[in-house]
Amino acid sequence: MVAKLVGKVKSSSRIKSVNQNVEDLDDIEQRTLAHYEENADSFWLGTQDHDVSQNIDAFLRALPKEKVLDILDFGCGPGRDLATFKALGHRPTGLDGSKSFCQMAHRHSGCPTLHQQFLSLDLEPESFDGIFANASLFHIPSAELPRVLIQLHSALRPDGILFSSNPRGGSEGWQGPRYGHYMELENTQSFLEQAGFKIRHHYYRPEGQPREQQPWLAIVSQRSV
């Protein structure tokens, strides 16, 4: 898919697994994106005040200090975190498969936004110091995750940082109108290492809760090769 640059131009149900042939992969992506397109405004209203400062701090602590950073917000949604990175003096670029989200993100943040689907990325090599993937990578089916992680690895500069935060679990498939691939640390680490990343730090969210009440796994990884 050819990238579009917006702004310079850009009920829960039982999980059901599917076979991941080419047709299924296209269906997975299109149906999941359709859900976000149909709920773009309510998604913004429901998430604009979410406190993700712990994730942003963990991400930025792993990156060079006193430097204006080129950051890719992978799955930027309506642009909440783009605005934060910009306010901190960095050069963020958003990326989302939802055209509505891309338009909203540019409107809310003033940042350039790439309209690209996760399974059809077109990123320049070594373009970013860091990639912030907050609640986005879990939508990528396991069959495609190795390839997508290699593409993100290529888009990072040497020693670049990938931050990811995803729901934990041990299942994959449809949950309502969205597809999700839910992993624990060991499996996630295996995917990251195969793509050339080394985990520097991980933690569970929300802070201060027993593990069974921490549904989110956050990982700070570094491009190691």
The whole-number pLDDT of residue 49 equals: 84
Predicted confidence at residue 15, as pLDDT, reads 35
List of domains in the chain:
15-223 (3.40.50.150)
38 pLDDT higher than 90: yes
CA distance 62 to 30: 34
The mean per-residue pLDDT over the stretch 80-90 comes to 98
The kind and range of the H/E element at 80 are helix 80-87
Kindly tell me if the per-residue pLDDT of 149 is higher than 70.
yes
Task: Give the 3-state secondary structure of residue 6.
Answer: strand
3-state secondary structure of 78: coil
pLDDT at 4: 35
| Residue-wise DSSP of 148-197 | HHHHHHHHEEEEEEEEEEEE--SEEEEETTEEEEE--HHHHHHHHHHTTE
Token pair of 199 as six digits: 């985990």
CB 77 within 8 A of CB 134: no
pTM value is 0.90
What letters, b where the CB count within 10 A reaches 16 and e where it falls short, cover 141-159?
Answer: beebbeebbeebbbbbeee
Would you tell me how many other CB atoms lie within 10 Å of the CB of residue 196? 17
Tens of pLDDT along 161-171?
A: 999 999 999 99
DSSP letter at 9 equals -
Q: How far apart are CA 206 and CA 74, in angstroms?
A: 21
pLDDT at 23: 65
Residues 190 and 171 sit within 8 Å (Cβ to Cβ): no
Contacts of 157 (CB under 8 A, 6+ apart): 126, 127, 128, 129, 223
